[in-house]
Structure 1
């Protein structure tokens, strides 16, 4: 009886979806002047309805049988260009469906695209609505969303032990998450339910380089040594490495694997989605470090094609993409008219990058994670970059970012729903790679950039049009890969610059509120005495500037020395402090973080950290970012771990410090999950509307 009842429900759902598709065609025929439905021998309502029903049925059949193969044929097309082709191909299928029915359906090419998109969305929404209370139908809907329409339920026998899903909410700091899950109407109700029903919220302190490149490399591969910033200049090669460039990400991953001697956190039955690095996963999609590969299971853009295998996804995502563009334009215009300060430019490509990060990347990565869960993958690590991108331009708090938090919460809910239908139990761990600190930019507050200040300190002329660096947001690198765009040099080599004495000019780079200065003509790491001989005024110019908190330089006699205003010094090897401690405003762990980075082979000649006001939490980004991260100061160094209580506590009561320490915790949790079968787990307590959260 159960099978017959299930079959009957499935037939009713198909009929309901068909009816909605038919009604949609009839309504569009009444509304759109360029779209008509006519029967073969007249315009009677009955025969027009029959024509619409046959057209809707044939269109749905083509979408089910032909569409996935069309998408597979477009694997070489740039991923975002596929979004446009989706509408053209879907419109062509509609025209084919109308021409095949025994009536006359007429539509222009542009109208056919619109009709096909609307029909796909309404039919998909109807199926989703009807599937809510049916477990089998809901699971099939999730599989279609993940592009698993014709896949087996799992790649092989599924283990009875628990898997683990690590979902990284990029850039959300510990305090921001606490605020977003507090109160009667939290911005993130699903995450709030997790915290209320047993998940443990733990802060962890990042390394000095508080940015995704260093944090995620340490978390996934167990080592972020020799990664001093988001971008840095390497003297031995004369190149600039940038974390969100595919070639640089591949180099960093290769170095970390060689240093640690293992593939990474996800080497055993793992999947990496939307990250900078693979973590050793056999399945990687939308991962920058493998963007140029064509190896099976390691195509960085494969997730886009799986997602767009359903034309309804393309229509919904395109609509959301356009809505996000309009939302950004309205929000930036309102901020400009209201005279909001501080403020950074939000024009150029930023509205497109924001829409990509908050819509396309979010939807595709979430769908890929759902697919991994339904396939029973043992370990999944995925990164959602939406909040980080918006917070860079709108600030870590405010209405703009609160809306993004709410949409990310719905992604968490969708992952929990997939866990509820998974072939094995799962633990869901939420975490972040860093937080964000806020404040006016260095250039906005003081009228000159860090590069200009360095050139003044070196007695060199200031360029009339200073070079503008690309923002250090991860979404830009991901968007370039999605567009199949070639890499651009991050920084011209000194000998190629236009100025006559370019070979001796200092290389100045920025990573949030962390600045790096290298002198290409001084071999090895330039010491304090060598810098003062060459540029007597530079160190004092930097250390005495009100926008700079401290400068790290290697002293030939005292080792690493931190310089501050008024002659303040902190000798890191001996702990000796002269006048005052420049690191005091940055907290008790600052000296250890700076000392660790000083030991890197790639530590630049000078490292400059912006000033930090402990009373307001403000810093000054050396990039055009209102919310920033990359150095010391404020909430940028305070990330979070949200883990199930069934897993062991991250620490025994001490502070969790550094991405490498987080890697060890996650590796321990994976071992615990694989060692215990679900029958050994304690029973879940019921909750109002949060049962899936408890099961995770």
Structure 2
């Protein structure tokens, strides 16, 4: 044992000396390149003196970074997260200036702006050198990974030997998109887990090689096929009364938006109140990068707590500290961030020059938002998950929003999104590697919250927005130029939360005026919601016809509209379609009418939403082109989700074969609440203390879901 410790100490010393030597050489090279950075006196010094000055400067800088850097970043945790990322470079430069001042030779100096550059390069080189050396030594690599773990575990109880579970949500990646990416060789890690042959049914299914470790299946979303509804149902077991991504509540006069921190907090509160349970992660869990906390003790980058006063227990941006406490991370992420901005500008320029269709605007701040989603959010969340695993947490749920953000603007299929899928696969590979060094075994479950359906926008196809069409049907003046609706992308709100800026929403460019003739029109992908704020209750078809005789027929007969849902005094609820189609909800199974094109389960989804207290006066779903699965988004997105139609309602669930099959007897998983019950069952199978046993049956009765 003593010999092993001796060899380990010698090996560690050798790596430290190597990193020091490389840092010294880097400082010498930078001194020769940069005019405002010198390591010798104006009269000149011998090569030995210059080398010693560089060696001492590199050593002092390394010691200062190791000792002072975590303390400095902790003091700056009150600073908005993205500002902290920028301050990293200036603080790093300050440490270098201090190291030069402490150098006994007294000959070295640098301009402040040059010091920032030198410190950034040296941090990156030292980190890369240390990582390259550690990879050759499994023990060293393991110790390096352990430094990412949450130190709160020290002094706590021993880590249990039971399996922990990591749930990784690839936001917006549909089942068919994942299968296609695997077959194209874009996601080798996923291909290895599936045995290079993704097939429904898992182990023993035809075409499923014995070396597969995971099974792949699909599930069907609710009518509201978006992250707010799906993740609330998955994490908290209830997405009741979430009719869309954004909707107007008449009793409070407020517009609820799933990616607004105040709305997310209220939706989480309602779900907990309805279920009487804290959530999927209520015991020894961690929630990373999500809209909701899931009852986790450890939460970082969680939108529902972004407006709370931080505490030791719940710090919405604590993940940024854990990541930026290493200055090399900031350097690496910053360079990748800039590269992603340049990549987006190049890709959008090529698409415009080629005249690609469909296409939406990708200027303004979008390149920055995309870079945040695909680089900053990914890096911070993955680092947080690694820390959770190395700390031995029982259950971790993390959301990676990169694909969803890019697919909204570039489309769900294409080279832009394929590159993102490849980078997500590398993140999965890194997490798998960390699992090998964790203090307990881990099972990795990968899933998505929804897919995305391609198609041009409603405005691009017809030259007007849904709001314009509603105003025309109400006999109101229609503006000559259609207004751009707000994007429902999750990353946009995450950027605002990181900057501590409120997420503001308007109702199609107009605040509710309360006047009798002004409807409120909101969009959630290809799902539209129309409300009349001056009527306290949900209006019936008869009331709407009496007020605006042409509105419902104008909407139902428009070629871009698939169907409408309205309340009926005679039938309770009806689905309206073109050519006067009017099907009561209780007759949809025998006569689906306009819902026939939307496939199995559409009638149940519509009936369930009809029973929500805050369903809009008129629910509008755009048309579907069954041949190619295209829909028309009411927002400015060429890859959309939020309603029925196409791949948006067909996400995936990929689970280890060691866990039981997601659905019994080959039944289809329907709804996010059903997925929640499956994930709870898997946590119980891991024999951990994460969740209590449930008394409710896992399979809800169909009439219960429709109620």
TM-score (norm 2): 0.92
Q: CA deviation at 1:414?
A: 1.4
Change (3 A) 1:39 1:52: farther
RMSD between superposed Cα atoms in Å: 1.8
Q: Which residue of 2 aligns with 1:195?
A: 194
Q: Which residue of 2 aligns with 1:273?
A: 288
**Deviations 1:408-464, CA, capped at 9 Å, x for gaps:** 111111111111111111110000000000001000011000000000001001135
Residues 1:210 and 2:225 aligned together: yes
Residues 1:246 and 2:246 aligned together: no
Change (3 A) 1:155 1:182: farther
Residues 1:132 and 2:135 aligned together: yes
TM-score (norm 1): 0.93
Q: CA deviation at 1:489?
A: 4.4
Instruction: Check conservation: 2:265, 2:305, Cα contact below 8 A.
Output: yes
Residues 1:220 and 2:235 aligned together: yes
Instruction: Check conservation: 1:442, 1:547, Cα contact below 8 A.
Output: yes
Residues 1:335 and 2:351 aligned together: yes
Q: Which moved more, 1:11-20 or 1:63-72?
A: 11-20
CA distance in 1, matches of 2:366, 2:482: 20
Q: Which of these residues, 376, 396, 406, is aligned with residue 360 of structure 1? A: 376
Matches within 5 A, 1:97-136: 97-103=99-105, 104-136=107-139
Instruction: Check conservation: 2:221, 2:672, Cα contact below 8 A.
Output: yes
Instruction: Check conservation: 1:174, 1:639, Cα contact below 8 A.
Output: yes
Q: Which residue of 2 aligns with 1:85?
A: 87
Long gaps (5+) in structure 2: 196-211, 690-707
CA distance in 2, matches of 1:481, 1:85: 18
CA distance in 2, matches of 1:138, 1:154: 23
Q: Which of these residues, 301, 304, 307, is aligned with residue 292 of structure 1? A: 307
**Deviations 1:250-298, CA, capped at 9 Å, x for gaps:** 0000000000010000001000000000000011000000112213221
Q: CA deviation at 1:492?
A: 8.8
CA distance in 2, matches of 1:425, 1:626: 41
The count of residues paired between Structure 1 and Structure 2 equals 669
Q: Which residue of 2 aligns with 1:448?
A: 464
Q: Which moved more, 1:37-46 or 1:645-654?
A: 37-46
Residues 1:586 and 2:587 aligned together: no
Instruction: Check conservation: 1:494, 1:505, Cα contact below 8 A.
Output: no
CA distance in 2, matches of 1:225, 1:128: 48
**Deviations 1:613-658, CA, capped at 9 Å, x for gaps:** 1101110000000100000000000001110000000011110110
CA distance in 2, matches of 1:495, 1:613: 34
CA distance in 1, matches of 2:492, 2:49: 52
CA distance in 1, matches of 2:510, 2:638: 30
Q: Which moved more, 1:223-232 or 1:39-48?
A: 39-48
Matches within 5 A, 1:180-579: 180-183=181-184, 186-196=185-195, 197-293=212-308, 294-464=310-480, 466-491=482-507, 497=513, 502=515, 504-575=517-588
CA distance in 1, matches of 2:155, 2:124: 28
Q: Which residue of 1 aligns with 2:694?
A: none
CA distance in 1, matches of 2:253, 2:383: 40
Q: Which residue of 1 aligns with 2:692?
A: none
Q: Which moved more, 1:215-224 or 1:52-61?
A: 52-61
Instruction: Check conservation: 1:242, 1:490, Cα contact below 8 A.
Output: no
SS of residue matched to 1:595: helix
**Deviations 1:443-494, CA, capped at 9 Å, x for gaps:** 0011000000000001001135555332101111111110011342444998
Change (3 A) 1:23 1:211: same
Residues 1:10 and 2:15 aligned together: no
Residues 1:163 and 2:158 aligned together: no
Moved over 6 A (4+): 492-495
SS of residue matched to 2:169: strand
Q: CA deviation at 1:496?
A: 5.7
Instruction: Check conservation: 1:442, 1:622, Cα contact below 8 A.
Output: yes
Q: CA deviation at 1:574?
A: 2.8
**Deviations 1:89-120, CA, capped at 9 Å, x for gaps:** 10010011111112221211111000000000
Change (3 A) 1:495 1:212: closer
Q: Which residue of 2 aligns with 1:68?
A: 70
